[in-house]
Each structure stands twice: as structure tokens, then as C-alpha cells.
Amino acid sequence: MCGIVGYVGPKKATPILIEGLKRLEYRGYDSAGVALLNGGIEITKKPGKIHELEQALARHPSTATCGIAHTRWATHGAPNEPNAHPHTSNDGEIALVHNGIIDNADALRQQLKKEGYQFTSETDTEVVVHLIDFLWNEGQPLETAVAAALRKVDGAYGIAVISSRDPGKIVLARNGSPLLIGVGQKGEMLAGSDAAAVIAHTREVVYLDDGDYAVIDADGYRTFRLEGTEVARARHEVTWDLAAIEKGGFEHFMLKEIYDQPNSLRDVMRGRLLEEEGDARLGGIRDHQTELAAVKRIIISACGTSWHASLVGEYMLEEYARIPTSVEYASEFRYRNPVIEEVTLAVAISQSGETADTLAAMHEATRNGAKTMGIVNAVGSTIARQTDFGIYLHAGPEIGVASTKAFTSQLVALTLFTLFMGRRRHLSALQGREIVSALQELPYLVEEVLKVNDEVRDVAKAYMDCRNFLYLGRGYQFPVALEGALKLKEVSYIHAEGYPAAEMKHGPIALIDDDMPVVVLAPRDAVYKKVVSNIEEVKARHGRIIAVVSDDAPELQDKVDYMIKVPHTIPCLLPVLTTVPLQLLAYHMAVLRGADVDQPRNLAKSVTVE
């Protein structure tokens, strides 16, 4: 959601900025813009896709070697040209791009209007650039004015600012919206809201902390606290490479990431399985055994797909570790008055590690004295850094907006955590070994599942014109039903509902007729027979059934329209296998319907505003 890129150095800035924006495209946006410092400031902005901006820039090539760029995902005001970033001061001498939301924008706007400032957009961002101008005393450097303005701003921001009054530098600041410095070749510095924006030029990055601001110029970078004191921020090396954020021969990132799952599952388990002991070795939580031993209750907060993974985690943690576990929508949790005791462990699950609501839920838990743990994919992200300890997914960058490989890695990370907690409580070595051995086999089983791709494409062809879908599952398969329905909605724009299979009788059954495809998750687990009864109920009402089964299910042959087979494994890991055909189904439906698979309309990869 919204992206920032900055460049200052000896090279022409435009191609570097555009390339950076393209690498951030996956985060979701609806307009884009660039500000270049070339004597004065040159602004180009366009609603729509980046190539529109690129074409506009090509009409007036610039030799500027310093600039900032932005992709905007509209929050305040429509996605049109005036609202697109960068925003400028009335004299055009300061330009600013911003991710986040300024909470006191209305009050500041009123004050600035009284001072004679003209507003040309509906955005909250514009107040910041006028405020910088208002507080800029002659002779001061840009960063002093930026820091003075930010001390008056409430809200979340990641910003980059340039000015023709103090050229050759970019001022960056962060509070709640990610921002990093890319340390380039000599005389060259970059900035990005995500490492993907700078990785083509450097692997060395410096993450800003909340309340930091920084100056980058040809001489390097300096980081400060908003109060003005200089601070040192460590350099980190980005461990993944460019190939991880390129399509590698696949038509879409989503498909590439679905097919990457055997590898991403190996990566989340690498070095973490203790075969003999039937246990998990988790470096990120190993040193917190005392706190974890005291845990009597777990609350998991998450959003979207990560919330679905959390539900599977709840079932696993209760079954194997016998720890009462509840799952919360992070956005609800943060505004309730939840009961949190010292013996509560608050877990945040997040692919991006930047979801604003999930982060706020962790802050709420911390305020109430709970220990917090992150299960996060993006290394160095805010949730990863602000929780007490955690487990990384190591799934590599996920570019498709609809989460696929991160979900299955979350399921495996939760299994590892369950093993860890279970083995320190009631889980026997024998049971632990059974889980470890099933985990070891899992990547191979996913390779098998991927072979159903052609069959699933046929199913998609058969149902591509349907307007509604129902997904049903029970037990461990209920969250899979929710996730399958979400995937379909996200990428194909078909309305879909996920339901616990037995709940169908309490409402959705009224919708079933011969126009309603029903995807039923029916692997052979403890509730298989019950699910078969649910299939009968759908069949009796002429619903069209697509069943996902494990092994052979001859008894279902004449009851269902399509049967997709996945291999069998232990029930708690079956969700990893049954999810894959549903990802493929959503993908093929979207492609057949001509939808933008990797960047579905209105969605953002990383939701950094509440």
C-alpha cells in the first residue's frame, strides 16, 4: 500500500525511480508521481498505472540526479492527479511524498489556511508540505524544517522530502510506516519503503525506526531522532536477490508463488526439525523458554489470509499443546478491552510485518503486560522488530497481492511452534516424531498436489461464469474453506463464502440450487463421514459439487461433479495440501475472466493504514 522511492547520486534519477516504483507495484496503488530536483522542482503525476507516468516523463526527459517518487493507494480523496503525490509547497520549492495517515490533518489545514496557504488536493499529506514551508526559517537546512513540522504532526507516516532551497539531499522520516535507506555505490544513496525498491542497486540497507529522520546525499547518510539528537542505525544485508522478485518464466507472480511452495516449505523448516526428539529448534524463541513455559493462554491477532492461518494454529495449539488459544481480528482486538493477563502470550501473524491493525494489536497487548511474539515473513519489518521474540517464515518476498506461499509457510511455522510448546508440556516424543516425519514429507506432497493444475483449470473453465461460490470445510478444513473463498474473491471478483460445513444448514443452504458451485473440503480425517453427509445435503438440492479429497474416495464418485485428489498426511497438515488446489482454482478463474491476477483492483499487499 503506497510506495516511496528516492535517489540522489551521479546518475540520472528518472530511470532509477521508475524502476523502483515498478518493484513496489505489487503493494497496490492507483496513481503515481515523481519530483525531480533540477534547479527547480519538476513534478509529474498520473492516475492509473506506472507506465502512464513513464510515458509522461518520457515526453520531457530530465537530467536531474536527485528525486523522489511515489505510488499512492487512495485513502483521503479520489485517485486523481491533484491527489497523487508528490505534493508541493505553494511556491513549488518543496516536494514531499508520504505513506500513512496524518490524524490531525484537519486542524493543521485550518491553521495553515488562516496563514494564507492554498490547498490544491483533498489529501492529508498536503498539510505536511505547507507546514514544513511555514516552519522553515531562512538559513536553516531542510531537515531542521522537516523535523520541526513533524513534531507538530500526529499520525503515521513515512515521508521523503526534497527542496530547491537546499538541493542535493533527500530528507526521510518515519513514524509507523516503513522506510529504509539503501546504501549505494560511492556518491549514491537510495531510499525505499521496502527493500524491493532498492535491491537492484544495493543489498545494504538501514531501517529507520519510528521517530527517526535521516538525511541522504552524495556524502552518505545521517540518522537522527525527531528531537534532534544523532543516532546510529545498523546496516543490514538483504539476503534475497532480484530473481526472488521477478517472474522467472511464469505468467504471473501468483502462479510462480504457488509453484514455489515446495521450496518455501523447505525453507521454513530448514534446520528446525529435531527428528530424534520429535521437537522443533526455533532460534528466535529459544532464549525465551522461561516466559513461554509460563504461558497459560495464547491470543493470536492477524488480518486477511494470516487470520485464516491463525485459525489452523488455534486448532493445533489446543490439540497438541493443550494451551487455550483464541484468534482475533487485529482490527477488533485493538479497540476492545480484551482480557490479557501476564500469562497470556500475544502472537501476531503477518506476511508483511507492516499491517497497521496487527501492529496496533501488539501494542495493545504490550500495554496490558503480555509478552508478544511475531510470526512474520518480511525480515526487519516493524512487527518483527517490535515484538519480544518471533519466528520468521523465510518464504522470500511474496509479490502477488493474494497471499499463497506465505499462508502455507505460516501453517508450517505454527506447526513448529505447536511442537515446541507441546514438547515442553504434554506432547510425547512419539507424537512429536510423527509430526516431524509428516513435516519432512510435506514439500514432496505439495509437489504431487501441483500436478492437479490441468484438472483444476478444467474446473475453472466449467464454472468461470458463475457469480457465487460456497466453500465448506470442518475441523482443520474450516479455515481452508475461508481461505479458498477469500482467494477466489480477491483475484476473480466472484462472490464467495467460506462456511463451517455443518453451519450450512443454518443459512447458506437456502442459496443452493443448480447454479451454485460448492467446493467441499473432504479429506479423510476425523470428520470425513460428517462432511460426506453435508455433500449429500448439497446434492439433494442440485448444488454442483467440487470435492477436494485425500486418496481415493470411490463412495463420492457419483455424488460430486468434480473430484480433486491430494495425497494424505496427518490431519493438522492436510490444510497445506488442500489449500493448493483452491489457490490454483482462484488463479485460473481470474485468468479466464481476464482479471489482473497480481494486482487485483482496490487491494493492497501491505495494509499500512487502519
Long-range CB pairs of 148-156, under 8 A, 24+ apart, other chains included: 150/175, 150/213, 150/226, 151/226, 152/108, 153/102, 153/104, 153/108, 153/128, 154/102, 154/103, 154/104, 155/100, 155/101, 155/102, 155/103, 155/104, 155/105, 155/124, 156/100, 156/101, 156/356, 156/608, 156/609
Shortest Å distance, C-beta 4 to ligand G6P = 18
Site residues for ligand G6P, window 352-371 (CB under 6 A)? 352, 355, 358
Nearer to ligand G6P, 1 or 34 (CB): 1
**Candidates 70-78, 96-104, 300-308, 425-433 — which segment interacts with ligand G6P by CB under 6 A?**
300-308
- Measured distance CA(416)–CA(306) in Å, rounded: 16
- Measured distance CA(126)–CA(88) in Å, rounded: 7
Binding ligand G6P by CB under 6 A: which of 304, 473, 517, 571? 304
**Candidates 18-26, 86-94, 200-208, 299-307 — which segment interacts with ligand G6P by CB under 6 A?**
299-307
Binding ligand G6P by CB under 6 A: which of 175, 310, 403, 534? 403
**Candidates 255-263, 398-406, 450-458, 556-564 — which segment interacts with ligand G6P by CB under 6 A?**
398-406
List CB contacts of 565: < 8 A, sequence separation 6 or more.
Answer: 452, 549, 550, 551, 552, 553
Long-range CB pairs of 225-232, under 8 A, 24+ apart, other chains included: 226/147, 226/150, 226/151, 226/173, 228/147
Nearer to ligand G6P, 202 or 381 (CB): 381
Binding ligand G6P by CB under 6 A: which of 268, 280, 401, 586? 401
Nearer to ligand G6P, 87 or 487 (CB): 487
Nearer to ligand G6P, 213 or 307 (CB): 307
By CB under 6 A, residue 606 contacts ligand G6P: yes
- Upper half-sphere CA count for residue 474 (Cβ side, 13 Å): 19
**Candidates 95-103, 161-169, 399-407, 585-593 — which segment interacts with ligand G6P by CB under 6 A?**
399-407
Q: CB–CB of 141/170 below 8 Å?
A: no
Nearer to ligand G6P, 304 or 432 (CB): 304
User: Which is nearest to 420 in space by CA: 579, 269, 261, 263?
Assistant: 269
Q: CB–CB of 29/71 below 8 Å?
A: yes
Burial class of residue 548 (count of CB atoms within 10 Å of its CB; 0-12, 13-18, 19+) = buried
H or E element, residue 148: helix 142-150
Does 2 participate in catalysis according to the annotation? Answer: yes
Shortest Å distance, C-beta 489 to ligand G6P = 11
Catalytic residue among 46, 169, 487, 605: 605
Nearer to ligand G6P, 298 or 303 (CB): 303
Cell matching residue 389 = 521474540
Cell matching residue 333 = 482486538
Nearer to ligand G6P, 360 or 472 (CB): 360
- Measured distance CA(606)–CA(379) in Å, rounded: 14
By CB under 6 A, residue 607 contacts ligand G6P: yes
User: What does 351-396 look like in DSSP terms, one character per residue?
Assistant: SSS--HHHHHHHHHHHHTT-EEEEEESSTT-HHHHHSSEEEE----
Shortest Å distance, C-beta 467 to ligand G6P = 22
Binding ligand G6P by CB under 6 A: which of 44, 83, 306, 382? 306
- Measured distance CA(188)–CA(190) in Å, rounded: 7
Q: CB–CB of 471/482 below 8 Å?
A: yes
CA dihedral 563→476→398→252, nearest 10 degrees, is 10
By CB under 6 A, residue 605 contacts ligand G6P: yes
**Candidates 66-74, 413-421, 539-547, 601-609 — which segment interacts with ligand G6P by CB under 6 A?**
601-609
By CB under 6 A, residue 305 contacts ligand G6P: yes
Nearer to ligand G6P, 188 or 398 (CB): 398
Nearer to ligand G6P, 16 or 416 (CB): 416
Cell matching residue 514 = 443448480
By CB under 6 A, residue 481 contacts ligand G6P: no
Binding ligand G6P by CB under 6 A: which of 125, 331, 351, 415? 351
Nearer to ligand G6P, 525 or 598 (CB): 598
Nearer to ligand G6P, 101 or 607 (CB): 607
Return the sign of the alpha-carbon dihedral for residues 534, 540, 546, 552. positive
Catalytic residue among 2, 66, 303, 572: 2
**Candidates 74-82, 132-140, 179-187, 598-606 — which segment interacts with ligand G6P by CB under 6 A?**
598-606
Look up residue 3 and give its DSSP letter.
Answer: E
Site residues for ligand G6P, window 204-223 (CB under 6 A)? none
Site string for ligand G6P, 45-84 (x = CB under 6 A): ----------------------------------------
User: Which is nearest to 493 in space by CA: 401, 397, 398, 356?
Assistant: 401
- Measured distance CA(188)–CA(203) in Å, rounded: 13
- Upper half-sphere CA count for residue 236 (Cβ side, 13 Å): 14
- Measured distance CA(280)–CA(511) in Å, rounded: 45
Q: CB–CB of 320/431 below 8 Å?
A: yes
Shortest Å distance, C-beta 351 to ligand G6P = 4
- Measured distance CA(559)–CA(542) in Å, rounded: 10
Does 45 participate in catalysis according to the annotation? Answer: no
Q: Which residue is nearest to ligand G6P (CB)?
A: 304
3-state secondary structure of 472: strand
Shortest Å distance, C-beta 410 to ligand G6P = 8
Interface with ligand G6P: number of residues (CB under 6 A)? 16
Shortest Å distance, C-beta 73 to ligand G6P = 11
Shortest Å distance, C-beta 325 to ligand G6P = 18
**Candidates 132-140, 344-352, 477-485, 516-524 — which segment interacts with ligand G6P by CB under 6 A?**
344-352
Residues forming the site for ligand G6P (CB under 6 A): 303-306, 350-352, 355, 358, 401-403, 603, 605-607
Which residues are known to be catalytic?
2, 605
